[in-house]
Amino acid sequence: MNLELGLLLTGLLGIGFAAQWLAWRVKLPAILFLLLAGIVLGPVAGVVQPDWLLGPLLFPMVSLSVALILFEGSLSLRFGELLEIGRAVRGLVSYGAVAALLMLAAAAHLLAGLGWDIALLFGALTCVTGPTVIAPMLRTLRPNARIANTLRWEGIVIDPLGALFAVLIYEAIVSRQQGHTIGVFLGTILCGVLAGAVAAWVLAQLLRRQMIPEYLQNFGTLAAVLLTFSVSNAITHESGLLAVTVMGIALGNMRGLHVDDILDFKEHLTTLLVSSLFILLAARLQWPLPPGMLMAGIGILLASQLLIRPVTVALATAGSALNWRERALIAWVAPRGIVAAAVSALFALRLGALGLPGADALVPLVFILIIGTVVLQSATARPLARWLKVAEPEPRGVLVFGSGIVARAVAKALHDAGVRLLLADDDWDGIRQARMEGLPTFFGNPASNHAERHLDLTGIGRLLAMSTHRERNSIACLHYREEFGRDKVYRLRNLSVDEATDRVALADSLLAPPLFDDTMTHGRFAERLSQGWRIKSTRLTTTFDWPHFVEQYGSPLILLFGIEEKGALRVASAKRELEPRPGWLVIALVPGERPRSEK
């Protein structure tokens, strides 16, 4: 089938977007749908032929894309976080990762007949998970907090470390294949490390001294990364990947350097690159696979799932606070992701050009392991968690966006009532005050890509957007109404009905229902708190029901929440008027003067 080149390229972007959107809808890792789309378009239908489509540009495009992916991953590695993670995670990302690497290499050598050099490279590529595959799986898995934190931090930390392992092993293979001495190999490593460190230092100085305007910082960083990769390769062949990895780690750990905006830009760019790159890489697969390759891949998948991962977890978590049920679930969940797919394809291209035996088997085996782990674990992890009794119940907790006096007062009342709660904001002063009041907090915008990687939503199922910024409330509502459902997202008005224009009022009504009632705004709530009003929690009984409560505190009171006897939270809103019943715990904003019964 002959199609116009422009139509094919734009079609790839559309298919990549569709795969990402489908992954978001069904809460599965996007890499699964991207690889399947590439396999259907390439080996099955024959519509996309990357070598013909891009010709001599294919190898440089893959190389530069992988360089950016490695830089973005290593930029998120913070050495300070290595001290904060628990014993189990430290084991999983250190000697546990080494054990997994060696066992996966042995499996590839014995089952697929790979030489030890390619087998070790395969082990380095597939011993890692990653936040892009773990985060969607945790949303549907919903394990308890200790399991979720362990899996999340393992993915965050091991992703760049695994890439570094793979790059070092690859450099050793290339040096050996080309007959280089150990001195040449060490020189390649030294060149990559120095090039990355120097590039990071120069870029950091330019950013700190504000020599690059803010609107050009992302562009400048992109150019610096690609230039470092190319220059390092020009000085010493094959040192560029190590250079960009070191550059990312160095920038991410420099004090006084704000890289969050750069990281956000790189994550957006990586999404675009991944969406196109993985379709092209999967389309290059030969089908049917070479004889015995499919069975070898399935054998490695079973060995990884049933033997290698359980042994790794048993070694890494020995002596930790995790019980056997939690270890069992962690031993089952280890999906492979972006780094394994992208780097394996690049290395296969380069090693194939060098004529190394077994290089053509690297990509099929990695892709089989990626697809197999994602599909198998997505289908079975939730039932296994329930059977092991380590799954969280239905998410009844609340995410409060905002850290002002109103958000903190409401969050404090819910927290004291026993509701699982997390208060999130990027205002440090407000977050610090909330921590002093004993509230669980997250410092950052909950609708950002940073939150996508680090925000623990285990047990959380509602959003209360109570920030003083109307636009940010709107963005948060848009972000979380698909995460939690439209009926689980609420906002506190920043403008009254009279103050809002018809267009603003209509747009707000489409986002989320207003909290408490149509007349309540953030300003009015804050004003009443300053006038001495307080949030009161009372358990209703048959002798002291809701009418008695209203009579005691006066009709101006405002009902905020109701908690049923079984713990279900009911939120008062403009579209849902609550009728508290005996046995409920009611939370209301009442006038400051105490009733006589409390004096």
Among candidate residues 223, 225, 216, the one with its CA nearest the CA of residue 72? 225
The verdict on domain 397-598 having CATH code 3.40.50.720 is yes
Q: Which of 78-82, 103-107, 403-407, 585-589 has the lowest mean pLDDT?
A: 78-82
How far is C-alpha 529 from the chain's CA centre?
Answer: 37
Give the DSSP per-residue string, 427-494. -HHHHHHHHHTT--EEES-TTSHHHHHH---TTEEEEEE--S-HHHHHHHHHHHHHHH-GGGEEE-BS
Give the DSSP per-residue string, 550-581. HHHH-TT-EEEEEE-TT--EEE-BTTB-----
Q: SS3 of 589, please?
A: strand
Residues 6+ apart with CB under 8 A from 300: 104, 107, 108, 111, 112, 365, 368, 369
Q: Which tokens in the block code for residue 85?
A: 């993670």
Q: Give me the residues paired with residue 443 across strands.
A: 425
Whether pLDDT at 301 is above 90: yes
Query: Which stretch of DSSP H or E encloses residue 421?
Result: strand 421-425
Q: Give me the residues paired with residue 570 across strands.
A: 562
CA–CA dist 156, 247 (Å, integer)? 18
State the pLDDT at residue 49: 79
Residues 6+ apart with CB under 8 A from 555: none
Whether pLDDT at 506 is above 50: no
Q: Which tokens in the block code for residue 327?
A: 């270890």
Beta strand 441-443 with 421-425 is: parallel
Per domain, the residue ranges of the chain are 5-388, 397-598
0.85 cut: is pTM over it? no
- Give ∠ CA 67-70-71 in degrees, rounded to 5: 85
Determine the angle formed by the axes of helices 30-39 and 260-283, rounding to 10 degrees.
30
Q: Count the Cβ atoms, other than its own, within 10 Å of residue 418.
A: 10
Q: Which of 27-36, 318-327, 405-414 has the lowest mean pLDDT?
A: 27-36
Q: Band the pLDDT of 305: cuts 50, 70, 90.
A: very high
Q: Band the pLDDT of 109: cuts 50, 70, 90.
A: very high
CATH level 3 topology of 5-388: Na+/H+ antiporter like fold (1.20.1530)
Q: pLDDT of 344-368, one tens digit each?
A: 777 777 787 777 887 888 888 888 8
3-state DSSP helix/strand/coil % of the chain, to nearest 5: 65, 10, 25
State the pLDDT at residue 259: 64
Residues 6+ apart with CB under 8 A from 185: 171, 172, 175
Strands across the sheet containing 558-563: 534-539, 585-590, 558-563, 569-571
CA–CA dist 73, 77 (Å, integer)? 7
Give the N- to C-terminal CA distance of the chain in Å, as an integer: 85
Residues 6+ apart with CB under 8 A from 481: 463, 488, 489, 511, 512
Cβ atoms of 120 and 169 closer than 8 Å: yes
Q: How far is CA 164 from CA 249, 337, 438, 461, in A?
A: 10, 15, 40, 37
Buried b (16+ CB within 10 A) or exposed e, 351-376: beeeebebbebbbbbbbbbbbbbbee
Q: Which residue has the tokens 């062949």?
A: 237
Q: Band the pLDDT of 239: cuts 50, 70, 90.
A: confident
Q: Average pLDDT, stretch 298-325?
A: 90
Q: Which tokens in the block code for residue 75?
A: 């930029």
Q: pLDDT of 445-501, one tens digit each?
A: 887 777 776 777 777 888 888 888 888 888 888 888 877 777 788 888 877 544 544
Beta strand 585-590 with 558-563 is: antiparallel
Q: Which tokens in the block code for residue 378?
A: 């997505």
CA–CA dist 594, 35 (Å, integer)? 64
Mean pLDDT for the chain? 80
Cβ atoms of 296 and 378 closer than 8 Å: no
Q: Which tokens in the block code for residue 344?
A: 């394996």
Q: Which of 78-92, 147-161, 571-585 has the lowest mean pLDDT?
A: 78-92
State the pLDDT at residue 1: 45
Q: SS3 of 460, please?
A: strand
CA–CA dist 222, 349 (Å, integer)? 24
Q: Average pLDDT, stretch 184-198?
A: 82
Give the DSSP per-residue string, 202-231. HHHHHHHTT-S-HHHHHHHHHHHHHHHHHH
Better-scored residue on pLDDT, 32 or 205: 205
Q: Average pLDDT, stretch 389-403?
A: 81
State the pLDDT at residue 599: 45
Among candidate residues 536, 500, 533, the one with its CA nearest the CA of residue 518? 500
Q: Band the pLDDT of 328: cuts 50, 70, 90.
A: very high
CA–CA dist 566, 585 (Å, integer)? 11
Q: Which tokens in the block code for residue 210?
A: 């504000």
